[in-house]
Amino acid sequence: MTQHNRTPDHTEHVDLLVIGWGKGGKTLAATAARKGLRVAMVERDSGRVGGTCINVACVPTKILVHEAETRRAGDDPGASFANAVERRDTLTGAMRKKNFSVLSELDSVLLVSGTAAFVGEREVAVTGGEDLLRITADKGLINTGTEPSVPPISGAVVGGRIHNSETIQHIDPVPSSLVVVGGGYVGLEFASIFAHFETKVTVLDRGQRALKHEDADVAETAVNILVDRGVELISGASVTEISEDDLSARVAYEVSGNEHSIEADAVLLALGRTPVTSDLELARAGIDTDDRGYVVVNDRLQTSAEGVFALGDVNGGPQFTYVSLDDNRVVADQLFGEGERSTSDRVATPYVMFLTPPLARVGLNEADARGQGYQVAVAAKQVADIAAAPRAKIDGDPRGLVKVVVDAKTDLVLGAALMHVHAEEVINLVAMAIRHGITATELRDSIYTHPSMTEALNEVLGAL
């Protein structure tokens, strides 16, 4: 950027420079400021204050999930979706304001609106309009996150009838038909959301079966629930071209060498995310990236540049906001603690795909456990068949399953897949059991509140 070669309008030196207002960075910025350090927070997009999670990912999409699930059958789908979007925008706006105030109220924090690019070690030039600010720092944090990938497919350009996971949250009107390109977690979550708003959804998945990282019985349960909702899943589909006109969008694809096409009101591109690093000029600071653009870090989240760390999605780790929060703990220990905490300390990190009902997983699945040589015992039961846990029936959705994988020799829990109402909560209990060596027998014989989904563990594990 030639603009960086001109004399800066102003230069600031800080103890800690944070680029990107994500979960890990904002948390560490506040911690450092409260310890009396001078902190600069640089964010290029006012709509990203607080991070991706609260603005375009976890929080707003789960509002849409909730509104989709609670929509009554007779409600107009268009009006219901518009109300859902309004509530989404209201909450994200309030959270953005709160996140801004958390840092703006700290006297030692300098908030900078603009695009940062490195010009040297721990030194950046920040451009905002015609202004140029030079910032030098003792320590630096890269926390710029990721953005939806644009696949190398002819016509795959976001705009008009073609959307990514961010733009589709404001689609207007709600489409009567939708083609989702990509059968991963993001694609299937949106497929479930729009199916609940009476959209005819078709998912084109490159894999030979949906949810290839899940056990076949778990994937089958999830797929059957989606199909019952009206979603069509086409596996082994390679999309070759996307086009649109005033009336519809058209997607051409191949399955087993045979050409097909489908028309719909809209198309969602859901083929992963890309790190936001292209404008950072990382090479000028001696910061290495991998072949996908992610910042390379060690298990202390240190980059190849002295005193510079990378937190959150941009470092190529699991793309969850709670992992970014733990990244903050790792780096905080390097800056203010004993320097012993690392990412290798993480055990049994759970994740959830917010279908209806949600699918939550932690640890090893059955196939991986057997592949690693464990003598495996499996406890599995469809939720509808669990007599001693009526919570799902009370909530009106007895679909899904509970599956727990156990080491038969030690009785330790190796992993679990839970698909049922409140699975996003129960999975945390199982994850803690794995981390702390609580046996399957202890989980089976524990006292749980009634009626709750946790008590399903009493009955399911009783079958071992």
Q: For tokens 């800690």, what's the residue?
A: 16
Neighbours of 285 (CB within 10 A): 23
Nearest by Cα to 262 from 153, 179, 171, 369: 179
**Which H or E run contains 236?**
none
Verify cis geometry, omega within 30 degrees of 0, for the bond prior to 357. Answer: yes
User: Cα–Cα distance between 207 and 211 in angstroms, integer?
Assistant: 8
Whether 66 is catalytic: no
Count the alpha carbons within 13 Å of 365 in the hemisphere toward its beta carbon.
15
CA distance 418 to 358: 8
CB 165 within 8 A of CB 185: no
The whole-angstrom distance between residue 223's C-alpha and the CA centroid of its chain comes to 20
- Percent helix, strand, coil in the chain, to 5, is 35, 30, 40
Expressed in angstroms, the distance from the first to the final Cα of the chain is: 63
**Structure-token pair, residue 275:** 């790190």
Chain CA centroid to CA 18, Å? 21
Q: Determine if residue 339 is left, alpha or beta; phi over 0 gives left, psi from -120 to 50 gives alpha, anything else beta.
A: left
**In the numeric block, which tokens belong to residue 302?**
């240190």
Tell the burial category of 36 from Cβ atoms under 10 Å away from its Cβ (0-12, 13-18, 19+). Answer: exposed
Burial of 155 (0-12, 13-18, 19+ CB in 10 A): middle
CB atoms within 10 A of CB 268: 27
Q: What six digits make up the tokens of 356?
A: 């209806």
The 8-class DSSP code of residue 115 comes to: E
* Catalytic-role residue among 10, 170, 213, 450: 450
C-alpha to C-alpha distance for 226 and 215, rounded to whole angstroms = 17
Supply the DSSP symbol for 282: G
**Closest C-alpha to 324, from 4, 13, 50:** 50
Catalytic residue annotation: 450
